[in-house]
Structures are given as C-alpha cells and as structure tokens.
Amino acid sequence: MHEPESLQEAIVYFSNPDNCISYLAAKRWPKGVICPICGSESVSAFNPKRKTWKCASHHPKREFSVKVGSLCEDSAIPLDKWLTAIWLLTNCKNGISSCEIASHLKVTQKTAWFMMHRVRLALQDEAFGKLRGHVEVDETFIGGKARNMHLDKKERRITGTGGKDKTIVFGALERGGKVRATVLRDRKRAAVETAVKTHVEVGAALYSDALQSYDRLAQEYAHRVIDHAEKYVDGQVHTNGLENFWSLLKRGISGTYVSVEPFHLFRYLDEQVFRYNNRGNREHKITPADRFSMAVSKLFGKRLTFAELTGKLATTTPF
C-alpha cells in the first residue's frame, strides 16, 4: 500500500479512484476483506466495474463497497475529495473553514460543513485510560467578544458580564502526554470534580488555579494550587501547558471558524485535541502523513447523519 508523504502526493495518488478504494480497504481490513453486515470472511473478489465485493452469505445488502459502515456511507462525494478534506483538516494547525474546503474541492459550503463534522467525529479520542503522573487542570470560556459584535447581535446575545453568555470548557493535560477537553454546564464543584475524576487517575499530582471548585480534590490527589492573582509559575506548580492548548484552540475558533454554536463546540474540541495529541516531539516525530493515516483508520464503524448533526433527530447531548 502506497502512503503519500505530502498533500501534493496525496492529491495525485488519490486522483485514481482505484487507489482510493485499495488504500481504504487496506486500512479497514488489513487481514483481508470482511463483510461489514455479518462479519463473514467469505467474500468474493473485488468487482472492478461496480467497485464492490459480495458476501457469500445470503442476507440483505450482501453486496457492499468500502464506504459501507463508514462515515462516508451514503455520500455522493468522491473518495478523492473525502481524503483531501481529511488531510487538510488534520494538518492545518489552526483548522480550515468549510468555506475554504468548499472552494478547494468544488462542493457547496453546506456539503463541506457536513463533511468536516463527520471527519471530526472520526477524530474523537477513544482512549479509555486516565491521565496520570503530573496533570494540569483548568477551564476556559469560549464565546464571541462583545466588542466585535454588531449592536443588534450584542443586545440579543450578551446579557451579562464575564462568562455569563459563554460556554465553559474543561481541560486536563498530562505533562509529556495527552490532553483531554470537554464541555461543562458550569464551574460549580460537582461538575468540576466529576470532570477531574473522569479524566485523571486518583493519586496523580494535580495542578490547578485557585478556583474554589477544586478545593476538596486534595483528599484524592496530590493537589497544588497556583493563584494567578499573585503569580503564574511557582516551580512545578503552574498550568502553562493547558494555557498553550487554550491559545491554540481559541486561535482556531476565533481566527478560522469565527462563529461556533455551543451545541457543536465539542466537535471542534475533538479536532484540536487530535492535532495536539499527535503533534509529535523531538523523540517521537509525527509527520502530516502519520496524522492523515491515523485519521483514515478511525473512519470506520461510525455514522453521523445530517438530521443528527442539525438536531432534527434526537441524540444524546454531549453536555
């Protein structure tokens, strides 16, 4: 299987539809094609005319393509455009807007927006282990700046001061490891403690600011506090790693996406967390091709319809 090393190589290689299919099939079925409906390994040879395989067992939809059971299922968008979009989203440091994707791929903005959200679903962190060692925790507010709004929008959306009309995001960063980010309803003790216990292993060294919601965590963690009213660093005690992540996140939201609705915010968090966790370092280099390959491997076994995305079909709230 050929692995493109750059965007230019990827565009040239995936311009051949057969290369797209063989690449995705190798990522999905490294040990041989398996029927996505019944799981049978008895599958006929690839039909080059129909671009499909056929399961030997008799059941509905026994003929299938590589798209079936993936986030690209039922999409009329060619695979070369899907793969180009995935490369761009996973490797643009500050993200890439649906308007840019629409322009580059010659699709509508609405189509590009839907494609990007399906890719963001694939980028979700599926690791079940908790963060350990030295862990920074912090929260931030995401929302429009009143000074940048037109008067009519400001009167409609800004009803208080501080973070009243903004969305709260909680983050936890394992130093030298991964970051996790999730949307919170509020910054009260119950919500904050639940978020910490969900993502951080009991007994870890925990570093936070002076928010009172963290006060009782010293019972289960080696909790140290840095009061930002006095200073930002006291030896090992700081949250500067998370501040770096917040900077990258807000740069993408404010500079690239401009306007993000609160009920879609968790998807943009998944995108930024994926890029941050796979940024590489001096000891372990991760190339753009590596990030692309990881993202493609996560396309399968998931589904997101337009009705679910737009709230026309009831789904479990991410909050």
Asked whether residue 218 is assigned to any structural domain, the reply reads yes
Asked whether residue 125 is assigned to any structural domain, the reply reads no
How confident is the prediction for the chain on average, in pLDDT? 90
Cα–Cα nearest to 47, from 21, 15, 74: 21
Domain of residue 191 covers 134-260
Indicate if the pLDDT at residue 307 is higher than 80: yes
Asked whether residue 127 is assigned to any structural domain, the reply reads no
Asked whether residue 109 is assigned to any structural domain, the reply reads no
Asked whether residue 248 is assigned to any structural domain, the reply reads yes
Indicate if the pLDDT at residue 285 is higher than 60: yes
Asked whether residue 274 is assigned to any structural domain, the reply reads no
Asked whether residue 7 is assigned to any structural domain, the reply reads no
Give me the CATH number covering residue 154.
3.30.420.10
In sequence order, what DSSP letters do the residues of 283-299 get, joined into one string?
A: SS---HHHHHHHHHHTS
| Predicted confidence (pLDDT) per residue in 37-78, tens digit | 999 999 999 999 999 999 999 999 999 999 999 999 999 999
Indicate if the pLDDT at residue 232 is higher than 50: yes
Query: Is 0.85 surpassed by the pTM of this model?
Result: yes
For residues 250-266, give the mean pLDDT. 91
Backbone angles phi, psi at 200, to 5 degrees: -120, 135
Residue 129 pLDDT level (bands cut at 50, 70, 90): confident
Residue 319 pLDDT level (bands cut at 50, 70, 90): very low
Indicate if the pLDDT at residue 26 is higher than 60: yes
Residue 315 pLDDT level (bands cut at 50, 70, 90): very low
Q: What is the DSSP letter of 208?
A: E
H helices within the chain, ranges in order? 7-14, 17-28, 79-91, 98-105, 109-122, 151-157, 189-199, 240-252, 265-277, 288-297, 306-309
Indicate if the pLDDT at residue 157 is higher than 90: no
Strands 179-184, 205-208: pairing kind: unpaired
Asked whether residue 188 is assigned to any structural domain, the reply reads yes
Cα–Cα nearest to 71, from 85, 61, 57: 85
Please give the share of the chain, as a percent, with pLDDT higher than 90: 80
Count CB neighbours of 22 within 10 A: 15
Per the structure, how many domains does the chain have? 1
